[in-house]
Amino acid sequence: MALSLVLVFTLFFAGMASFASADVKTVTLSVTVNQALTLTISTNNFTNITPGTPVMATTTVNVSTNDTGGYFVSLYGTNAGNAGTYNLQNGIYSIPDQNQWVPAGAGTTSPGNAVRIGSLANTGQVLAFRVMTASSTNGVPFLASTWWGTQDNYLTDSANTLYAGISSSTIPRNIGQTTGYSASPQINTVQYYLNVAPTQATGSYSAPLTYTATGN
């Protein structure tokens, strides 16, 4: 009889164990990664200039960002912020600028007002700039050949090498842009052209320029 009771209880509790339940909860972790963007620049400045003999200088623009929409870079000159003033100044004296850069619309597929050296204002005796092609680490995604030409012909009058004037501080202009993400820093070079007239006053001229990189 005792054996029968033990068997019954064993079967009873075994049956209860088969009805044990579990409670499961699921959590989802979420986070938004904020934009990180770093801009560094370095400049190889003009040498002394002899009137009538053009010289070149460059600024290297290095941008690192995690923005999946890419970024754009704008440029303006502080001295040119007021109507009738130019970027390169020395007291009461100044060196003329090429007509300020104006892109045609928001995209990069339409040409702006950049021109070849032979079409620069004031018989080319101006300060002008362009974005170079050869030194770019990401090429077409940043520079626009429709804006700045397809080749770096430097001091040669070429339809493939286009220049424009540096914008004033009141109207910063985009000079290059990307639309995608890159894990690697991207390097592009801005080139400056300068020539002066024989009547240009001697002395040391300076032009503070501001570069801004902004994520899309």
Q: Which domains does the chain have, with CATH numbers?
A: 37-215 (2.60.40)
Is 140 within 8 Å of 146 (Cβ atoms)?
no
- pTM of this prediction? 0.86
* Inter-CA distances, 108 with 137, 151, 158, 163, Å: 18, 17, 20, 15
Confidence label for 139 from pLDDT (cuts 50, 70 and 90): low
Inform me whether the pLDDT recorded for 132 exceeds 60: yes
Q: How confident is the model at residue 14 (pLDDT cuts 50, 70, 90)?
A: low
> Which H or E run includes 176?
strand 173-177
Output 81 or 144, whichever has higher pLDDT.
Answer: 144
Question: Which pLDDT belongs to residue 5?
Answer: 47
Q: Name residue, tokens 């021109």.
A: 115
Q: If we measure between CA atoms, which residue out of 57, 90, 92 comes closest to residue 166?
A: 57
pLDDT at 9: 47
Query: Which token pair is 48?
Result: 């002394």
Distance CA 216, CA 210 (A): 19
Percent of the chain residues past pLDDT 90, beyond the cut: 68
Residues 156-195 pLDDT 10s: 999 999 999 999 988 889 999 888 888 888 999 999 999 9
Is residue 200's pLDDT more than 90? yes
| 11: pLDDT strictly greater than 50 | no
- pLDDT at residue 7 greater than cutoff 70: no
Specify whether the CB–CB gap between 189 and 211 falls below 8 A. Answer: no
User: How far lies 56's CA from each of 12, 59, 153, 214, in Å?
Assistant: 96, 11, 12, 27
Q: Give me the pLDDT at residue 165, please.
A: 96
The pLDDT value recorded for residue 8 is 46
Residue 13 has pLDDT above 70, yes or no: no
* pLDDT confidence tier of residue 216, bands split at 50, 70 and 90: confident
Query: What is the model's pLDDT at position 195?
Result: 98
